[in-house]
Amino acid sequence: MQYLYPLLTVMIWAGNNVITKAAAGRIFPAEIGFYRWVLAALLFTPFLLAPVLRNRAQIKPILGKVVVLGVLGMAIYQSLAYYAANITTATNMGIILSLVPVMTLGMSIASLGTRLTAGALVGAFVSFAGVLWVVSQGSWSALIAHGVNVGDLMMLVATLAYATYSTLLKKWQLRMPPLQLLYLQILVAIIALFPLYVISPKTGLNASNIPLVLYACIPTSMLAPLLWMKAISILGPSRTTLFFNLVPILTALVAALALGEQLASYHFIGGALTLGGVILAERWTTPLRKAAIS
């Protein structure tokens, strides 16, 4: 049962990639990005507003860091994903998103003093090669001639934003209850996204897009963070992070079933390379200097 927490989390995340793609054409990206956080805030407020107000003396010194985390992890990351979904596929989004662990590890080596390992170096090259194979649709010449699809490029930037968010979260070690920290980041996201929502064209809520907003809000924005935090408390961060590798696989399966997306050979090859690189980075922990000597 202890593995159920991270497994349910990655299933929710994979479903959210498909929901993000399904939202394209039914609701504008700025709308769903804003509505999901507003609804999450409304549902969290009765339980968390009073504790946050009582804790304001502790929050005040770290408020700037909370703002940075909210903008990176809640506003930029998911908003870019909604825009990317209008141009690329859910399968591509899932594969690109699987770079998060490798990017986070690289940033940890650069900024947190984490030692560079042979697996981290080799795994980074293998993972990026896999993503490039996917975004080029298995043709290096096409990639050179036409460049990267704008949607895939947006997803790469979104992935980089989330990796930066994860690294800063680990570096700063903000000492406050996780749910209160999540609630404050949601409030930051609402403020950050409000101008974009105001100037964006609007579809409005209707029968076809309300279920998408509800999924983005309740399972993805509220339930998944709770399950992930519970998984980390039981299994530890290293073992829990391994489950993140299931996201692109589950995304591809759900996208094929729900959206009818066709899986091509470059998806399998690129996805295998990306996942292989992540596993190398996580499991091959020989320090680089020692590996070079050997």
Q: Which two tokens stand for residue 9?
A: 């989390």
- pLDDT over threshold 80, residue 232: no
Q: What is the pLDDT of residues 242-257, one digit of tens each?
A: 777 788 888 888 888 8
Q: What is the mean pLDDT of residues 259-263?
A: 84
User: Closest Cα partner for 86 from 26, 128, 33?
Assistant: 26
Name 164's Cβ contacts closer than 8 Å, sequence gap at least 6: 72, 107
DSSP symbols for 178-209: HHHHHHHHHHHHHHHHHHHHHHS------TTT
More confident residue, 140 or 32: 32
For residues 111 and 89, what is the distance between their CA atoms, to the nearest angstrom? 33
**Worst-scoring range by mean pLDDT, 23-27, 134-138, 204-208, 270-274?**
134-138
Angle between helices 150-172 and 118-135 (to 10 degrees): 150
Q: What is the mean pLDDT of residues 208-217?
A: 93
Q: What is the mean pLDDT of residues 229-233?
A: 80
